[in-house]
């Protein structure tokens, strides 16, 4: 459904991206921020779903800063390599890439950002530093940024059984930003939206989070908010 393209980021660095366009006039645009496994078929499918919902969606290949065309497996080897690449890219450069990706689809209207795991924290930075309405899925690194103000609305999704994000950490989100919805899904763990991974996927949580995510973007991107 989508297509591959290149985008220029800060410092004139060129990285790849996956672009999915809606059939009709866009309701807005969404930057889709990957997990630590690269722009995998799953992330491309997420972008396609946003396009089917009426949004222009772009998934930047953040790891192109270090190594081109990275698509890792959801195993120990892939996780270790993904963590290394994420560290090499860094959150500051990732936020810059979100800005460049958002600019590349700015003709679609208002732009938001959604991210998963590592990308969940990058999405949060998009709201804090770029003023983009953001949806953060199980961002375990969020706690390092709770002292920084939001410049745009944010929604948080967490699994109640996520071993990488404690109930205490989730509560800190509520205290930091009382107006930001924090949804916790009972029975779900980390990466509950990853439907290609039966060890993590939770269908009920993923469907409800998707409905809430679309409602958020419909309000803040397509609506008058």
Reply yes or no on whether the pLDDT at 46 is more than 60: yes
Number of CB atoms found within 10 A of residue 15's CB:
20
CA 164 to each of CA 21, 123, 211: distance values in angstroms, whole numbers, following the listed order: 34, 18, 24
- Rounded mean pLDDT of 72-99? 96
pLDDT band with cut points at 50, 70 and 90 for residue 5: confident
- Mean pLDDT across 131-157: 97
> Which pair of tokens denotes residue 168?
């205490």
> What number is the average pLDDT over the span 60-69?
95
Active-site annotation holds for 202: no
Q: Quick one: average pLDDT of 25-53?
A: 97
Q: CA 153: distance to chain centroid?
A: 14
List 162, 173, 202, 220, catalytic entry? 162
Domain count, the chain: 1
* CATH value at residue 121: 3.40.50.1820
Annotated catalytic residue 117:
yes
Beta-sheet strand order (sheet of 14-20): 3-8, 14-20, 56-60, 29-33, 111-116, 134-137, 154-159, 182-185
Of 52-61, 90-99, 162-171, 215-224, the range with the lowest mean pLDDT is: 215-224
Annotated active-site residue in 42, 117, 157, 173 = 117
Residues of the domain holding 215: 3-222
Q: Residue 8: which pLDDT band, with cuts at 50, 70 and 90?
A: confident
Confidence label for 2 from pLDDT (cuts 50, 70 and 90): confident
> Encoding tokens for residue 75?
């195993």
| pLDDT, mean of residues 25-49 | 97
- Catalytic residue status for 14: no
The arithmetic mean of pLDDT across residues 8-19, rounded, is 88
1 pLDDT above the threshold of 80: no
> Among residues 190, 200, 202, 220, which one is catalytic?
190
pLDDT digits (tens, 9 = 90+) for 153-210: 999 999 999 999 999 999 999 999 999 999 999 999 999 999 999 999 999 999 999 9
Of residues 144, 158, 29, 155, the one with CA closest to residue 91: 144
pLDDT band at 13 (very low <50, low <70, confident <90, very high): confident
Residue 225: predicted pLDDT: 47
Does 224 have pLDDT greater than 70? no
């Amino acid at each position: 459904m989508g297509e591959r393209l290149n985008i220029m980021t800060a410092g004139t660095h060129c990285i790849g991206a996956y672009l999915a366009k809606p059939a009709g006039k866009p309701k807005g645009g969404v930057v889709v921020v990957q997990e630590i496994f690269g722009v995998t078929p799953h992330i491309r499918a997420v972008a396609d779903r946003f396009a089917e919902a009426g949004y222009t969606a772009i998934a930047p290949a953040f790891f192109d800063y270090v190594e081109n065309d990275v698509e890792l497996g959801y195993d120990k080897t892939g996780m270790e390599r993904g963590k290394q690449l994420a560290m090499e890219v860094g959150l500051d450069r990732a936020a810059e890439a979100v800005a460049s990706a958002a600019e590349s689809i700015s003709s679609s209207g208002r732009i938001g950002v959604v991210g998963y795991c590592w990308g969940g924290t990058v999405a949060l930075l998009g709201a804090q530093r770029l003023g983009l309405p953001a949806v953060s899925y199980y961002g375990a690194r969020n706690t390092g940024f709770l002292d920084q103000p939001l410049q745009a609305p944010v929604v948080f999704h967490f699994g109640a059984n996520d071993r990488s994000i404690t109930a205490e950490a989730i509560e800190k989100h509520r205290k930091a930003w009382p107006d930001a919805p924090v949804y916790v899904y009972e029975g779900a763990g980390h990466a509950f939206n990853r439907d290609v991974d039966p060890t993590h996927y939770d269908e009920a949580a993923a469907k409800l989070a998707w409905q809430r995510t679309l409602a958020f973007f419909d309000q803040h991107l397509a609506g008058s908010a």
